[in-house]
Chains A and B, each alone.
Chain A
Amino acid sequence: MKRPSWVVPSWMVACVLLTPAMSRGQDNGPEPLTVATWGGAYEESQRRAYFAPFTEATGIPIKTVHYDGGITVLQEHLASGEVEWDVIDMIQSDASAACDAGLLAPIDPGILAPAPDGTPAQEDFMQGAINRCFITQIVFSTVIAFDDRAFPGVKPDSVEDFFDLQTFPGKRALRKAPVGLAEWALLSLSVPQEQLYDLLSTRRGLDLAARRLDEIRDSIIWWTRGVEPVELLTSGRAAMATGYNGRFFHARVMEGAPISVIWDGQLIGFNSWTILRGTDQAEQAARFIAFATRAENMAAQASLISYGPARKSAQQRVGLHTDVGVPMMPYMPTAAAHMERAVIRDHRWYSQTGELREQWFREWLGAGQTSE
């Protein structure tokens, strides 16, 4: 595949910035930019903080399509011949793997605006956020939450409790993907988080995790879409569920659902903006990313949903929730009290072990079927 040089997008962006009306489809207004993202309360916060203000500022409408992670869908989308997606909101490990597989267009770091006080973007973003073809924008967390009604007495408060069906009976909802499962299994065996990925790099570590998961196998309900864990908990079908912290925040604070979050063993991940290779709207895509990573816009999103912005100047601007006025900091995954047993997802490990994890997961699922 031919690689466009680094310089091309930046001057193209410059041209677009100077002459906004010159984009294609001048007659019927600008062609919409397609952003692949995750739906639900999260997408809603993006709509309010990024999409609507962007359209207002540039006249470019934004169309969203649903995306649930992984890089296979990208490969399939590219193979279909018609590239419709422009910008994708990807998990960092997926972005890194997709970048290595040549599925993404490079992004010129020059498009990133400095902080309002003039600090260059390179220093303002968290370490490792700015990459060749992805710009990390938020810190999210996959946490364990429980239905308060299911445990009227003693409440669960650790990963160990998630695996303890005797003390805390009830169904466990887990994402049907080899993400986080092995980490929680080993954490519950009191492996320190610094050593998780070293141990999971061995056959023994994966086998051990599989055996630990066996103990709750019969109580697992699988989910695939980010909105499901909240539904499973509120409907009472699951007593405990893993899910994205922002969704649980939204359900609890905005909708008053009886859901509590266990921060112990939270799996911290990062979401990154990427541009799909082969899109004919690369310049508008870059322009959108430049817009969405401005400190004030990132802070606006963080005041709607509890995901931490990936740049310091934006973090400093996080205060009360825009609509309900609750302070946002205690709900952020990065709050100091939540970090003690947090697992920072090793995106290098994730991006290189996709096949291994998939195979492990398939084998584990298969082992369950044969034994039943």
Chain B
Amino acid sequence: MDRKIVAQVVYQISAVTVVAILLGGIASLAAIGFVEAVHYLNGKLLISPYARVLAEDQHLLVVAATLLVPATGGLIVGLVVHFLVRQKRGLAPPDAILAAQTSGPAPGFPSGVASTLAALVSLGSGASVGQYGPLVYLGAMFGSLVGRLKLNLRHQRSIAIACGVAAAISTAFNAPIAGLVFAHEVILRHYSLRAFAPVTVAAATGYIVANVIFDRPALFLVSFNEVAHTYEYVFFALEGVLCAGMAWVFMRLLKVSTSTAERYIHWPWARPAIAGLMVGVVALWIPEVLGIGQETLRFATIEGAFGIGELGLIIIAKLVLTAVCVGFGFVGGVFSPALLIGILFGAFYGLVLPYLLPVPHSGLVVYAICGMMALASSVIGAPLTTILIVFELTRSYDLTIAAMVSVVFANLISYRVIGRSLFDLQLRSWGFDLSLGRDKAILQTHPIRDFLSTEYTAASDRDTVGEVRQRLVDDHRSEAMVLDHNGRLLGVIRLQCIVNSEAPLPVMEAIIPSFTIFDEQTSVWQSMESLRGFLGEAVPLVNEYGQLLGVVAEEAVIRAYLEIVHDLREEENEAA
């Protein structure tokens, strides 16, 4: 092999490895710092049950904190988001997906920091939102910083973002394989070896930092022997279907709460404060709705911790308040609330089941875990990740296989009813539609104006047909663009329509007024669509005032499509 190529390969591999280890370490430390800071705030602000019980002797203080802390936190979040985040909303996994998939500008670092701060305040003050969304964005933020370095690596930004996200998830769940798969399944949406290798390194680094250096406790620890009866797999499948229904309800509620907030609360910065107040009022009766709910998660796997009625009440309260908190603009994810609602729903299902079908079953734990993963996987669109989380946290095959059955049935339904995930729904509302795969979404982000040509034959509205005919013959073209004196496009003239026309005829009488036209926003995907049945040579492209900027030849549209799709296939099939 050529020495230069060998040197290049060695450089590539070592640079990618260094980037992966560095990012893995940074994202993991940032994730630990974030989680610790939330924990600290929950303690100081009397949100965590531990802190609340220590302040038992000052009952009024606890009540005041319950009412005021989430509301005040909401106000701070509202102001931070409104004035410090350019996008005027919390940055979340969809932003990470978009930054990894497209080459457009990523949300800036200052906005990312402000959004993370808002997430910290949201979670610290007990809002019913999740921590994994902000952690994923935190990982992506460091990834896109590294993506900007001039290292001359192919697909540097998307790989760096995937590394950051993988490390964050690996740290947060103590589950490196889940982190690795999450980065591919949710962020990259492909499995090329080139991305796989560094992302694995980053996930492993995150795991090492979390386990060896800091010794983080696991999210949940359960003991489970085995699924005692084969027919229970049918119950797991049914549970998955029901969880898909719950996921649908959750997303509907989220939509309703978002539109309610927009319609009735005029000032966007005030919305989270109102949601916070609602959380506080409900928490006086149902303290389980406050915060991430680590204790509630634990109780859901213990037989006898909840009665059926109170479990139902907590599920409804948590479901509604999470939708309200997210919809009203608290910054935080939906993954951990989905895990919590899911595990509670699973426990509920496990408790109700013996009454509906009086046959022996394997206890509450397995149903709780199945519900947790089925609901969460429907919401975030990551079936493989959730199955692996169960496996890595419990190391139990039986539990994993049970959860797998639920997850798959939940996803079968939710994919059709809701779409792949909440993230994809959000991306679609921003005009980035991943529902038909990466090709369409990415073709939609590339404007066709990048393929503009300024070589065209122009005609003035005062020209005669004879003059234009001669010019077209001289230019070897069959189409002329008719412009007024301001350069605005009036129409096109086709040679085949004027071959036999009288020479003195004014151009305006032979003009074709309705024709295909592109503007500056037209994407490659739209241009492909509008070329169906197109008969001309090139499509004119105009600016917002209707002035002609140039033309896009039919050939250029096809070339654009082929180039982009080729790049995608290359990215997906690259070796390390």
Contacts and interface: CB of A to CB of B under 8 A. Distances in A.
B221 interface: yes
Interface stretch (A116-124, A190-198, A216-224, A225-233): A190-198
A201 B52 contact: yes
A144 to B, nearest CB: 19
B49 interface: yes
B295 A198 contact: yes
Interface string B40-63: 000000001110111011000000
A349 interface: yes
Given A202-B287, A352-B54, A353-B56, A195 B304 contact: no
A198 B50 contact: yes
B573 interface: no
Contacts, number: 63
Nearest to B51: A201
A356 interface: yes
Contacts of A192: 217, 221
B54 A189 contact: no
A190 B299 CA distance: 11
State the majority secondary structure of interface residues on B.
loop
B50 A355 contact: no
B38 to A, nearest CB: 14
Interface in A196-210: 197-199, 201-202, 204-205, 208
A348 B221 contact: no
A202 B49 contact: yes
B308 to A, nearest CB: 15
Contact of B217 (A194, A197, A202): A194
A358 to B, nearest CB: 12
Given A201-B49, A202-B287, A202-B295, A355 B217 contact: no
A77 interface: no
Given A198-B294, A199-B298, A211 B56 contact: no
B558 interface: no
State the majority secondary structure of interface residues on A.
helix
Interface residues of A, number: 21
Interface residues of B, number: 22
B223 interface: yes
Given A190-B222, A192-B221, A198-B294, A204 B56 contact: no
Contacts of B223: 190
Interface string A72-104: 000000000000000000000000000000000
B350 to A, nearest CB: 16
Given A201-B49, A205-B295, A349-B50, A355 B302 contact: no
Given A204-B305, A208-B304, A208-B305, A353 B295 contact: no
Contacts of B304: 189, 208, 211
Interface string B390-427: 00000000000000000000000000000000000000
Contact of B299 (A208, A211, A349): A208
Contacts of A205: 49, 295, 299
A356 B302 contact: no
Nearest to A190: B223
A356 B298 contact: no
B49 A349 contact: no
A353 B298 contact: no
Given A190-B302, A202-B295, 12 more contacts: A189-B302, A191-B302, A192-B221, A198-B48, A199-B295, A202-B49, A204-B305, A204-B306, A205-B295, A211-B304, A353-B54, A356-B56
Interface of A: 189-192, 194-195, 197-199, 201-202, 204-205, 208, 211, 348-349, 352-353, 355-356
Interface of B: 48-50, 52-54, 56-57, 217, 221-223, 287, 294-295, 298-299, 302-306
Instruction: List the 6 closest pairs (A to B, CB-CB), nearest first.
Output: A201-B53, A201-B49, A352-B54, A201-B50, A202-B49, A192-B221
11 contacts: A191-B298, A192-B217, A195-B217, A195-B294, A198-B295, A199-B298, A202-B295, A204-B306, A208-B302, A348-B54, A355-B56
